[in-house]
Structure 1
Amino acid sequence: MTTAVRGRTAQDAASARRPVPVRVAWLAAALVALALVGAASVAFGVRAVTWPDVVAGVGGASNTLAEAAVLQRVPRTVLAMVVGAALGLAGAVMQGVTRNPLADPGILGVTTGASLAVVVGLAFFGLAAPTTVIWVAILGAAGAAVLVYSIGSLGRGGATPLKLALAGAATSAAFSSLISAVLLPRVDALTDFRFWQIGGVGGASFSRILQVLPFLAVGALVCVVTARGLNSLALGDDVAAGLGEHVARTRVLAAAGAILLAGAATAVAGPIGFVGLAVPHLCRLLVGVDHRWLLPFSTVVGAVLLTAADVIGRLVARPAEVDVGIVTAIIGAPIFIWIVRRQKVRAL
């Protein structure tokens, strides 16, 4: 047994000793936190409102400006939760598939690939139907993932965590340059694309949410089904195969679920970073490395983080607001640095 496998086995054993009630308690606490940030998202924003306005607005009333403001915050809150959950889950799965602690949809170039596909589709083909945009974003995310994995697999050792991270960074830089090249000659569309590229959940509507929800639901289901297989992959491909796991099938299914989540989330909210990177690390500290617990916990915590970031962005710059993609970078970077300092980052 190699040193990496022995270390991983010890880590799994330590995780297995975590009592189930402790994990349940953490999951319950995360759900309570989600309810609290959801209430805060509806109650607080650029326009100050009273609690009667909140109650009336949530009930569907829009007789006053305050009630109308609350009514608009409801789908925005739901979209923030849905997108945050998708990114948190996608990040946990990508880290499990690649055994790379630095993997997330942004670093591996998946969100940038989705962004490039959407920009090209809108600029050259005039795509307008929301469902079509979602499909284009998913195809772009899938193409980027295949490209990054192919580049990272070149040379000795195959697709190591370091090579995947470097290939993802290079691919993201190249795709970002291509996006700029497409947008710069189109001054009329540059402003809209620029705000979309930052990432945000403003202007949300229930119709947009319903359009993207089936894609996210299928992606989440695929990811959750592969949780046990991801536990086996964490021991290494040879050990996983020895345990009876179909390594290639599990990796392809899990990656497909994560790509579906990341692509759909990017299509509806733009490329939002750091959620898929920081959330799984934080969740491992609390519930361990068992993906049967890690995946649902990352889903809830991702929703909490993005919703809280959206609330902060609306409060810190009144009467304007800061896009959630900027806030997640400001919040996520220190959290990730703290996690790295507390726990040595290693291959998963």
Structure 2
Amino acid sequence: MIVRSPKSPARQPITARSKQARSLWLLGLVVALMCLCALSVTVGTRDVDWADISAALAGHADTIGQAAVTVRIPRTLLAVIAGAALGLAGTIMQGVTRNPLADPGILGVNMGASLAVVVTVAWFDISSNEAYIWTAILGAGCSAVFVYTIGSLGRGGATPLKLALAGAATSVAFASMVIAVVLPRNDIAGGIRSWQIGGVGGATFERILPVLPFLAAGLLISLLSARKLNSLALGDELAAGLGERVALARGVAALGAILLCGTATAVCGPIGFLGLVVPHLCRLLVGVDYRWLLPFSAIGGACLLLSADVIGRIVARPAELDVGIVTALIGAPFFIAIVRRQRVREL
């Protein structure tokens, strides 16, 4: 009788096949993202052909088709980076809180960023892109700390149910405050209401360029937190026993999520449910290893937001639905399904 050691060759092909399968899924998502980018550029109120696309990419805007492509290219880029940011932020928040219902919208982070922007626009008359970004990040951070503090009170600490309830109550309160600030200001009411729906329409490279350093910083912090999130998933006591500084690890990972969420909200408005749906779908493909889950969530979020944008253009022609409406129609039933299936258990 031969006893195999834990590191015997018989176990190695299983790990190799697992990595190969994940790599293939990752490649498939990248290909899907490229196809969606091409679809986003070609589909809209006016369909365009490849001649218009190639001419627009070369810098020409002589025809209506070429002009349409010139407008859609920055819109597509914004949908990609905002979707990646929100998908990644949702995964980080679920890992930090060990809450399957965690999402920038459900936990009130989006609405905190929105309230901060609205207040500074109405009372301090900010206008620069950099001011919008810093304000949204500060609002998102304060809201995250507030919700986590409220959810941690009482017996049992920050349970998934308490965090979800605290986040929902905070979102409602902040939304009411936004309305109270905007109502007396007819001069900004129209623009604020349109921005609050959440969308990528009207994107320009001038709006996108200032957000790239913040998104890059958030992306880097988030990806470097993958191993720490794997440790946190084992529980605070076991993570501390493995030498992890639990509070520091949780704070650094949360900082990455706040940077991503606040920046995306500043440029697109509060887009809900995307950070909830994407992590759960990606776990079905790659499991719970955050070293794989984080890049999958970034690409998956970009794919989902691009898909929502394309769907919004098709179903309401010649008008269009903002992506915030489409993601809400997708995410609300998904949220109900998770509540019924998970019963708000910890991850």
Normalising to structure 2: TM-score of the pair? 0.93
Which region of structure 1 is more displaced relative to structure 2, 35-44 or 15-24? 15-24
CA contact (8 A) 2:93 2:102 kept: yes
Q: Supply the AA of the counterpart residue of 1:235.
A: L
Name the residue aligned to 1:280.
279
Note if 1:37 corresponds to 2:36.
yes
Name the residue aligned to 2:158.
159
Note if 1:86 corresponds to 2:85.
yes
Shift of 1:340: 6.5
Name the residue aligned to 2:315.
316
CA distance in 2, matches of 1:120, 1:339: 34
CA distance in 1, matches of 2:201, 2:281: 27
CA contact (8 A) 1:106 1:274 kept: yes
Which region of structure 1 is more displaced relative to structure 2, 54-63 or 121-130? 54-63
CA contact (8 A) 2:101 2:335 kept: no
CA distance in 1, matches of 2:108, 2:124: 23
CA distance in 2, matches of 1:298, 1:144: 23
CA distance 1:89–1:163, change in 2 (3 Å): same
Name the residue aligned to 1:241.
240
Which region of structure 1 is more displaced relative to structure 2, 326-335 or 177-186? 326-335
Name the residue aligned to 2:187.
188
Instruction: State the secondary structure of the residue aligned to 1:105.
Output: coil
CA distance in 1, matches of 2:245, 2:170: 29
Normalising to structure 1: TM-score of the pair? 0.93
Name the residue aligned to 1:120.
119
CA distance in 2, matches of 1:294, 1:146: 25
CA distance in 1, matches of 2:336, 2:217: 32
Note if 1:175 corresponds to 2:174.
yes
CA distance in 2, matches of 1:38, 1:25: 20
For 1:1-348, what aligned pairs fall within 5 Å after superposition?
A: 19-336=18-335, 346-348=345-347
Deviation readout 1:88-136 (Å, 9 max, x if unpaired): 0000000000000000100110000000000000000000010011000
Shift of 1:150: 0.8
CA distance in 2, matches of 1:338, 1:171: 23
Instruction: State the secondary structure of the residue aligned to 2:169.
Output: helix
CA distance in 2, matches of 1:32, 1:341: 33
Name stretches of at least 5 consecutive residues in structure 2 with no aligned partner.
1-13
Deviation readout 1:162-195 (Å, 9 max, x if unpaired): 1111110111110000000001111221111111
Q: Supply the AA of the counterpart residue of 1:29.
A: G
Instruction: State the secondary structure of the residue aligned to 1:193.
Output: helix
CA distance in 1, matches of 2:332, 2:62: 41
CA distance 1:18–1:342, change in 2 (3 Å): farther
Q: Supply the AA of the counterpart residue of 1:188.
A: D
Shift of 1:335: 4.5
Deviation readout 1:326-348 (Å, 9 max, x if unpaired): 01112233455566677776311
Q: Supply the AA of the counterpart residue of 2:309.
A: D
CA distance in 2, matches of 1:32, 1:115: 33
CA distance in 1, matches of 2:183, 2:338: 38
Shift of 1:259: 0.5
CA distance in 1, matches of 2:344, 2:157: 20
Name the residue aligned to 1:4.
none
Which region of structure 1 is more displaced relative to structure 2, 150-159 or 260-269? 150-159
CA distance in 1, matches of 2:343, 2:18: 24
Instruction: State the secondary structure of the residue aligned to 2:240.
Output: helix
CA distance in 2, matches of 1:109, 1:339: 18
CA distance 1:234–1:181, change in 2 (3 Å): same
Name the residue aligned to 2:3.
none
CA distance 1:38–1:121, change in 2 (3 Å): same
Q: Supply the AA of the counterpart residue of 1:66.
A: G
Name the residue aligned to 1:3.
none
CA contact (8 A) 1:81 1:307 kept: yes
CA contact (8 A) 1:101 1:345 kept: yes
Which region of structure 1 is more displaced relative to structure 2, 100-109 or 338-347? 338-347
CA distance in 1, matches of 2:149, 2:52: 54
